[in-house]
């Protein structure tokens, strides 16, 4: 018994017998805690518990308890396996502590993955060399020297390609743009679709422009998706010098404010430039809306200027011949069943107006000051349900809007032009004179108001049942 306690291997064996299960239990509990917290340290701790601790215990038992020579092949094999696992632990732990847990926007989060891959390869080569050198006694100096010379030769032979790759890596590290950003570069203006080591793919609308990283890194470009403020588009227009500037400015602001691409938090601005020229600055939600916003603004402005009797580009609207207006009155006012005398009375008081496709004719919640009859085209009535515009009814030729102009009540649904629409417009004062002493006509208008409200309630109820 005395010889047992005096033997050196006894205490090594006893230490392994006590320390190994204790460490395994503690590491298992810690791993469960980190797993519940979704910590990036779970994988490194798993390597320690499953591989490093048992291999280290086995190595201690062989060398210290069993007194096997460190030159023996089994010891070297176990030491090599332990060295490989420690190398994997260093790589995994470094990645978890430095990069996976890095805060957003820090340099550790922005570093490209290729840099990490290159660093991993270098560490693996260095680690494997140290393992073979210390465990197996191999001479790895010549191998490192050969790798260095080979790298120099390859770098000189592929310096152009390597230069583009390095430029791309540096640009990725800086991250001046991301996928989906809009760039204005010397090669074109468009949206970034792909970024790789060699080039950047930009969708310009006319095709995919492939710009080498070295060219883009050496040139100046503008990231339109990261402006100092809200992106804007500036549109210059020309009106006749006889048009009142205040009326023109009010018209430009109204048309720009109704664009679906407009940024709702910023109002459009209009600056008169003299000689009938005006510059309208329209805030946009995204640079991607630039072409659509400019085209829609100019299209809607053409119709709005003619309705306001202003002369866009010096042109005036054609009010139509007397016969055309007579036909429009006969066709458009069918819902009111006007007599021949009433239609003739409206001939000098009603006017023809036109609206462009998707243009807002009447806003929900507004109180109309005129009644409009559909002469050509279609009008969609819509109402907002949980932030989504819901179609209520499509008005055809002969239908009317602005039915609450006489009662001076706000309308519940908005009216949108479906394609180009021609309408016959009658002011409230003329309507009051027309319906004076005609209770039957007032009753017809009241029925139209009640029918529209019923249709609106039905549409909202149907949408609510679907949701």
Distance CA 218, CA 170 (A): 12
Q: Which helix H or strand E contains 160, and what residues bound it?
A: helix 159-174
Nearest-angstrom CA–CA distance, 26 and 22 = 6
Q: What Å distances lie between residue 442 and 202, 349, 431, CA to CA?
A: 61, 19, 10
Q: Out of 215-229, 264-278, 351-365, which region has the weakest mean confidence (pLDDT)?
A: 215-229
Residue 155 has pLDDT above 60, yes or no: no
- Distance between the two ends of the chain, CA-based, in angstroms? 84
Q: What is the pLDDT of residue 160?
A: 57
168: pLDDT strictly greater than 70: no
Residue 13's pLDDT is what?
76
Rounded average pLDDT over 122-143: 72
Q: What is the pLDDT of residue 180?
A: 78
* Residue spans of beta strands (DSSP E) within 196-295: 199-203, 208-212, 222-223, 232-238, 269-274, 277-283
The pLDDT tens digits of the residues spanning 381-430 come to: 988 877 778 888 899 888 888 888 888 888 888 999 998 999 888 888 98
Residues 332 and 213: their CA atoms lie apart, in Å, by 63
Predicted confidence at residue 304, as pLDDT, reads 93
What are 237-250's pLDDT values in tens digits? 999 999 999 999 99
Q: Are 78 and 131 in contact (CB under 8 A)?
A: no
Q: State which H helix or E strand residue 389 sits in.
A: strand 388-395
CA distance linking residue 323 with residue 153, whole number of Å: 89
What integer is the mean pLDDT of 274-282? 92
Rounded to whole angstroms, what are the CA distances from 345 to 147, 325, 339, 391, 433? Answer: 99, 12, 10, 35, 10
Reply yes or no on whether the pLDDT at 259 is more than 70: yes
Q: How confident is the model at residue 297 (pLDDT cuts 50, 70, 90)?
A: very high
Would the CA dihedral through 159, 162, 164, 170 be positive or negative? negative
Which of 354, 357, 393 lies closest to 376, judged by CA? 354
For 195, the enclosing helix (H) or strand (E) is strand 188-195
Q: pLDDT above 70 covers what percent of the chain?
A: 81
Place of tokens 């930009």: 202
Do 418 and 379 meet the contact criterion of CB atoms below 8 Å apart?
Answer: yes
Tell if the pTM clears 0.85, that is, is over it.
no
Q: How far is CA 271 from CA 248, 279, 410, in A?
A: 11, 5, 33
Band of residue 6 on the pLDDT scale cut at 50, 70, 90: low
pLDDT at 166: 65
Q: Assign 310 to helix, strand or coil.
A: coil
Question: For residue 12, which of 53, 50, 54, 67 has the smallest C-alpha distance?
Answer: 67
Two structure tokens written together for 378:
């279609």
Specify the 3-state DSSP secondary structure of 410: coil
Most confident of 154-158, 170-174, 208-212: 208-212
Question: What would the mean pLDDT of 276-283 be, rounded to a whole number?
Answer: 93
Report helix, strand or coil for 65.
Answer: helix
Judged against a pLDDT cut of 80, whether residue 66 lies above it is answered with: no
pLDDT of amino acid 421 = 92
Backbone angles phi, psi at 187, to 5 degrees: -80, -15
- Please compute the mean of the pLDDT values over residues 267-293 and round it to a whole number: 88
User: What is the per-residue pLDDT for 246?
Assistant: 93
Range with the poorest average pLDDT among 34-38, 103-107, 444-448? 103-107
Confidence band, pLDDT 50/70/90 cuts, at residue 278: very high
C-alpha 212/C-alpha 198 separation (Å) is 6
Encoded tokens for 337: 């069943």
For residues 127 and 467, which has the higher predicted lDDT (pLDDT)?
Answer: 127
The average pLDDT across 367-387 equals: 87
26: Cβ contacts below 8 Å, ≥ 6 apart: none
For residue 438, pLDDT over 90 is answered with: no
In terms of pLDDT, which residue wins out, 148 or 462? 462
What is the pLDDT at residue 102?
A: 60
Mean per-residue pLDDT over the chain, rounded: 80
Check residue 244 and give its pLDDT.
92
Query: Facing residues of 353 across strands?
Result: 423
pLDDT recorded at residue 105: 56
CB 318 within 8 A of CB 261: no
The residue among 3, 96, 81 whose CA lies nearest residue 44 is 96
Q: How many CB atoms lie within 10 A of CB 386?
A: 8
pLDDT recorded at residue 193: 83
Q: Give 171's pLDDT tier (boundaries 50, 70, 90).
A: low
290-315 average pLDDT score: 90
């Amino acid at each position: 018994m005395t010889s047992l306690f005096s033997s050196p291997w006894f205490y090594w064996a006893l230490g392994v017998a006590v320390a190994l299960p204790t460490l395994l239990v503690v590491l298992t509990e810690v791993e469960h805690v980190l797993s519940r917290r979704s910590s990036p340290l779970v994988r490194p701790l798993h390597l320690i518990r499953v591989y490093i601790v048992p291999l280290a215990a086995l190595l201690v038992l062989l060398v210290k308890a069993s007194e096997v020579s460190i030159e023996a092949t089994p010891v070297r094999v176990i030491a090599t396996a332990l060295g490989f696992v420690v190398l994997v632990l260093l790589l995994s732990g470094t990645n978890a502590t430095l990069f996976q847990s890095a805060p957003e926007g820090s340099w550790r989060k922005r570093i490209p993955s290729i840099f990490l891959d290159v660093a991993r390869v270098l560490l693996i080569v260095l680690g494997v060399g140290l393992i073979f050198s210390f465990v197996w006694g191999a001479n790895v100096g010549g191998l490192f020297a050969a790798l260095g010379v080979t790298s120099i030769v390859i770098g000189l032979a592929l310096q152009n390609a390597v230069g583009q790759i390095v430029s791309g890596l540096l640009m990725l590290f800086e991250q001046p743009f991301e996928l989906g950003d809009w760039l204005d570069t010397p090669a074109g203006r468009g949206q970034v679709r792909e970024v790789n080591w060699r080039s950047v793919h930009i969708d310009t609308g006319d095709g995919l422009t492939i710009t080498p990283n070295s060219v883009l890194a050496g040139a100046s470009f503008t990231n339109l998706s990261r402006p100092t403020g809200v992106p804007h588009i500036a549109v210059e227009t020309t009106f006749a010098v006889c048009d009142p500037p205040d009326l023109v400015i009010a018209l430009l602001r109204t048309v720009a404010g109704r664009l679906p691409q407009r940024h709702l938090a910023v109002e459009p601005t209009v600056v008169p430039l003299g000689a009938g020229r005006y510059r309208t600055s329209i805030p946009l939600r995204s640079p991607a809306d630039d072409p659509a916003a400019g085209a829609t603004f100019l299209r809607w402005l053409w119709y709005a200027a003619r309705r306001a009797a202003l002369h866009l580009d010096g042109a005036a609207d054609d009010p139509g011949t007397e016969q055309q207006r007579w036909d429009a009155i006969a066709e458009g006012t069918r819902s009111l069943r006007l007599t021949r005398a009433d239609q003739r009375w409206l001939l000098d008081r009603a006017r023809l107006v036109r609206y462009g496709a998707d243009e807002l004719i009447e806003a929900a919640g507004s109180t109309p000051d005129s009644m409009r009859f559909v002469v050509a085209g279609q009008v969609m009535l819509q109402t907002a349900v949980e932030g989504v515009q819901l179609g209520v009814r499509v008005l055809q030729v002969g239908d009317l809007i602005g039915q609450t102009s006489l009662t001076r009540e706000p309308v519940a649904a908005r009216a949108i032009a479906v394609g180009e629409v021609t309408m016959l417009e009658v002011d409230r004062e003329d309507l009051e004179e027309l319906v004076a002493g005609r209770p039957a006509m007032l009753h017809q208008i009241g029925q139209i108001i009640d029918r529209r409200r019923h249709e609106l309630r039905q549409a909202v109820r149907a949408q609510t049942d679907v949701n």
